[in-house]
Structure 1
Amino acid sequence: MTRKATVSHIHRHEKYERLIAAAAGLAPLRAAVAHPCDETSLRGAMEAAAQRLLKPILVGPMQRIADLAKASGIDITHAEIVEAPHSVAAAEQAVALVRAGKAELLMKGSLHSDELLSAVTRRDTGLRTGRRISHVFIMDVPTHPQTLFITDAAVNIAPDLLAKRDIIQNAIDLYAALGLGIPKVAILSAVETVNPSIPSTIEAAALCKMADRGQITGGVLDGPLAFDNAISLEAARIKGITSDVAGQAQILVVPDLEAGNMLAKNLTFLSGADAAGLVLGARVPVILTSRADNVRTRMASCAVAALLAHSRRTQEPIRA
């Protein structure tokens, strides 16, 4: 008799619901939305406004946005609109609004991520800080008890050691700002031992020593760790790994963008996970959503950005 595998189609997302509820309880902050010129991005911004997650400033061609709203049945009556003739100008104008103190969040519309990040990272007119810009996926995996942060899977293609230091610090600071406590950070590789033939294992060991010396603060680091022994206590036990991080990591630091992108998409499409996304290291949080994101994921991205911005205002964690 052949036994059929049972697949549950009920995905519960309490982790995201907590984030959204926490942000909705705070005063909505003004967000410059760069070039919301397709239905998905415009609707996403206005739905976030309806849930009191932000106050959108729509930056783009006014007539095109108005025509799109009318055709799509989206109410933009109470939204401020700032004229910008095309996507590049919209990115520059949205960044200028932040620099002028007229917005505390930046949100990607229907332009390419590179167009927005180019405006963000411009040396004289952008939103640079002393920290490297990096991306974090905040993963709500229905089969896993904790929210998983995966970094960097969208901005830094092949980061060197110093870039990884900033990538890790950005993620730790976000975790702390959400009131989640002191994170356990796993530096991922293919194996859990240092191997000169696998450069990522050497970098992982160096990053852990940098944390020991105070060059990375606020988290507990271990690495190299393979993915299985980073998130599974049983896998760590079988391999004889004694660690405060192994089996219970909350932040997963990948070797490069390719590995991170594949990991996040595997969790999304094979485990039913949602992947909210945020760019860190700039003066303000940058909400970097995808056209493939569902409504819940878009709202979670806005919620995390709002919580981080409020935490920076008060210099205190905002418990989610």
Structure 2
Amino acid sequence: MRFSGFESLLDRAKSKGRAKVAVAVAADKEVLEAIKIAEKEGLITPILVGDGEQIKRLAHEIGLSLKKAELIDESLPEVAAHKAVDAVVNGQAHFLMKGQINSSDFLRAVLRPVRGLRTGRLLSHFAAFQVPGFSRLLFVTDGGMNIAPNLAQKKEILDNGLLYLKGIGMDLVNVIVLAANEVANAKMPATMDAQALAEMSRAGEFPGAIVEGPLALDGAVSAAALKHKGIASQINGDVDLLLVPTIEVGNVLGKSMVYFAGATMAGIVLGAQVPIVMTSRNDTPRSKFMALSMAALSRGS
């Protein structure tokens, strides 16, 4: 199956019942706005960890009822992050969300050696885009965490993305490994990595997926561009997941879709024991809400 947009993803997530999310340092207006939307939609029940008075004040400002929420009062951000992780480790929450706390402090709690959320897998960012005029959600990884991954790390990033997509019901995933052109060239390491990943796919290392590359973006999304260039492809422009070579490519690609094409974007972090909603300060409450939907859908998968 495929998702035509965020609404179809949300409907499927809601069909699984309310998920419990632990929010680390929850005294953040935009985060609480997203929680308000998600709670109203029947998607989540929140566990809000942080300065209790600030959380109550902000909740009152935005009209968020705390009747169904669990509030864990902790004024120290670093301690609040650990308590949010504890809620996940203890089985009280299905997944985790970052609030008003420095990312490094938050991840330190996530990756703590004792009773943390490590799996041995690389953490990677995974984004979904609903682009006007595009018939389905387009997924992109990793434009948010790993700066310049090597081949082994790109394989881990791809494994994370495929594990997520299969877990939410996609039986066959079409993957394009992006590069600047379609010819493998030792002077362009991204093309060599893309070729290697495509060879791994042909050898059966990514069951349930077709992985092709190197391909430039036009060939990834356009059968007409492939025909014009004379490139044969099983995917033939029908891509689900774009694997980018560096964080800069993913960042620029994602922001281009949002700012130039009017796309809606949401993203989560994969590779831990549970999905992590770790959004940007610039993300709208609606975008944060859709990230909550992405995380809620994958629970139990």
TM-score bracket for this pair, using the shorter chain length = over 0.9
Residue correspondence of structure 1 range 192-207 to structure 2 within 5 A? 192-207=182-197
Instruction: Name which of 121, 133, 149 aligns with 1:143.
Output: 133
State the 1:34 CA deviation.
0.9
> Which of 82, 88, 101 is the matching residue for 2:72?
82
Q: Which residue of 1 aligns with 2:206?
A: 216
On the 8 A contact 2:30/2:285 being kept in 1, the answer is no
Q: How does 1:11-26 map to 2 (within 5 A)?
A: 15-26=5-16
Equivalent residue, structure 1, for 2:99: 109
Q: Number of paired residues?
A: 299
| Alignment of 1:287 onto 2:277 | yes
1:179 equivalent in structure 2: 169
What's the TM-score once normalised by structure 1's chain length?
A: 0.89
Quote the Cα distance in structure 1 between the aligned partners of 2:215 and 2:225.
11
Matched, 1:126 2:116: yes
Q: Deviations over 1:117-173 (max 9, x none)?
A: 232223333201132111111111112112111000111111111111111111112
CA distance in 1, matches of 2:204, 2:85: 33
Mapped partners of 2:138, 2:84: distance in 1: 30
Larger mean Cα displacement after TM superposition, 262-271 or 106-115: 106-115
CA RMSD, Structure 1 to Structure 2 (Å)? 1.7
Q: C-alpha displacement at 1:255, in angstroms?
A: 0.4
Percent identical across equivalent pairs?
37
CA distance in 2, matches of 1:118, 1:246: 42
Pick aligned residue for 1:237 from 227, 236, 239:
227
Higher mean displacement: 228-237 or 123-132: 123-132
Whether the aligned pair in 2 keeps the contact of 1:187 and 1:223 (CA below 8 Å) is yes
Q: Please say if 1:100 is aligned against 2:90.
A: yes
CA-to-aligned-CA distance 1:1-32 (integer Å, 9 cap, x gap): xxxxxxxxxxxx96111111222222111110
1:220-273 deviation per Cα after TM superposition (whole angstroms, max 9, x unaligned)? 000100011111111111111101124121100000111101100000000000
* 1:51 is the counterpart of 2:41: yes
Unaligned runs of 5+ in 2: none
User: In structure 1, how many angstroms separate the alpha carbons of the residues matched to 2:156 and 2:176?
Assistant: 15
CA distance in 1, matches of 2:158, 2:207: 9
Q: Is the Cα contact below 8 Å between 1:143 and 1:271 reproduced in 2?
A: no
Unaligned runs of 5+ in 1: 1-12, 313-320
Moved more, 179-188 or 113-122: 113-122
Deviation by residue 1:101-121 (Cα, 9 ceiling, x = unmatched): 111111121223333223222
Further displaced range: 63-72 or 46-55: 63-72
User: Could you say which residue in structure 2 is the equivalent of 1:39?
Assistant: 29
Instruction: Return closer, same or farther for 1:182/1:189 CA change in 2, 3 Å cut-off.
Output: same
1:186-232 CA-to-partner distances (Å, cap 9, x unmatched) read 00010111011100000111112222334433210001000111111
Look up the match of 2:244.
Answer: 254
Deviates more, 1:90-99 or 1:72-81: 72-81
> TM-score scaled to structure 2, two decimals?
0.94
For 2:222 and 2:207, the matched residues in 1 are separated by: 25
2:51 alignment partner in structure 1: 61
Q: After the TM superposition, which segments of 4 or more aligned residues of structure 1 sit over 6 Å from their partners? A: none
**Is the Cα contact below 8 Å between 1:20 and 1:299 reproduced in 2?**
no
Aligned partners of 1:72 and 1:145: how far apart in 2? 34
* 1:162 has 2:152 as partner: yes
SS in 1 for 2:119: coil
CA distance in 1, matches of 2:33, 2:62: 9
